[in-house]
Amino acid sequence: MEKLHDLLIRYNTSIPQESRTSWSKQFLAARFPEYWYRVYSLLMGIDRDSRVVEIGCGQADITSILCYLNFKNISAYERDGKLAHLAEEKLRSLFGKEGIVILSEFNNQTTTDADVLILVNCVYADGIHTKNEYLDRIISWYEAANKPRYLLLEFIDDSYIEEDEGFPKCVRLNAQDVRRIFPNSQIEVFPTYKYPINKKSKNLYFITTLS
Ligand SMILES: C[S@@+](CC[C@H](N)C(=O)[O-])C[C@H]1O[C@@H](n2cnc3c(N)ncnc32)[C@H](O)[C@@H]1O
């Protein structure tokens, strides 16, 4: 993991200042965000032949874990053209990999087959007004990925009660909400950010759907 960490810091430092997004700056620091380490260790236990779909890869910092761990079948969706291009460049330069990044919005019209679905650091309330709409969107994405066995989903926790326009209360979930939409599953919860130490509170859910 240390080698990947060093590789990413060196690469991310070489990106021009103007291309650095607010969230990508945390991938320049000596200690990466907690969700990054957690995703890494959870992926270690998953078969490398699994089909992995990542929604919202940004500049491919999480996607880099997948490449480093030698996952062979990765589709990383990114709707922003500039970021998708940066992500492609990074994966080519660090791992010699191409054809991973898909410049497209992942939505309920997407059709793909995944064994693992990853949605981390990717909470957007666009078009969402109620918690049920938000939960429905998560389920529709799970179905669009053809009901993968494993899900790594990071959500803002509803223990975070500050007013926050970007992250309204309807996109803040608790463990019961997640259990409600994935009833026949084994669910593990890992805190990744905690307000007020961090700007908000978030949890990473590792969901294994039971057949
Ligand atoms: C905050 S960034 C995080 C990137 C990455 N997951 C990480 O942890 O570093 C979220 C990215 O998701 C992209 N995004 C959000 N919703 C998306 C969707 N439905 N389909 C494709 N990309 C999406 C945004 O354009 C943005 O680049």
pLDDT at 191 over 90: yes
With a 6 Å cutoff on the Cβ, whether 55 touches ligand 1 is: yes
pLDDT digits (tens, 9 = 90+) for 124-137: 999 999 999 999 99
Q: Where are the domains of the chain?
A: 31-209
CATH of domain 31-209: 3.40.50.150
With a 6 Å cutoff on the Cβ, whether 56 touches ligand 1 is: yes
pLDDT digits (tens, 9 = 90+) for 155-183: 999 999 999 999 999 999 999 999 999 99
Give the CA dihedral 117, 189, 123, 27, nearest 10 degrees.
-90
With a 6 Å cutoff on the Cβ, whether 83 touches ligand 1 is: yes
The beta strand positions in 59-210, using DSSP E, are 73-78, 101-103, 116-119, 150-157, 172-173, 185-193, 202-209
Instruction: Give the pLDDT score at 59.
Output: 97
Instruction: Give the pLDDT score at 152.
Output: 98
The minimum-distance atom of ligand 1 relative to the CA of 77 is 21
In a mutational test of the pocket of ligand 1, which residue from 106, 122, 142 has the highest number of ligand atoms less than 8 Å from its CB? 122
Of 22-31, 49-58, 145-154, give the lowest mean pLDDT range.
Answer: 22-31
Q: How far apart are CA 133 and CA 4, in angstroms?
A: 37
Instruction: Give the pLDDT score at 101.
Output: 98
pLDDT digits (tens, 9 = 90+) for 67-119: 999 999 999 999 999 999 999 999 999 999 999 999 999 999 999 999 999 99
Q: How far apart are CA 40 and CA 89, in angstroms?
A: 21
Instruction: Indicate the residue type of 165.
Output: E
Q: How far apart are CA 55 and CA 45, in angstroms?
A: 20
Q: In the Cβ-directed half-sphere of 46, how many Cα atoms lie within 13 Å?
A: 29
Span between the terminal Cα atoms of the chain, in Å:
32
pLDDT at 211 over 90: no
With a 6 Å cutoff on the Cβ, whether 141 touches ligand 1 is: no
Given the DSSP bridges, would you call strands 116-119 and 51-55 parallel, antiparallel or unpaired? parallel
Tokens 């650095």 correspond to: 20
> Which residues are registered as beta bridge partners of 53?
75, 117
Instruction: Give the pLDDT score at 163.
Output: 95
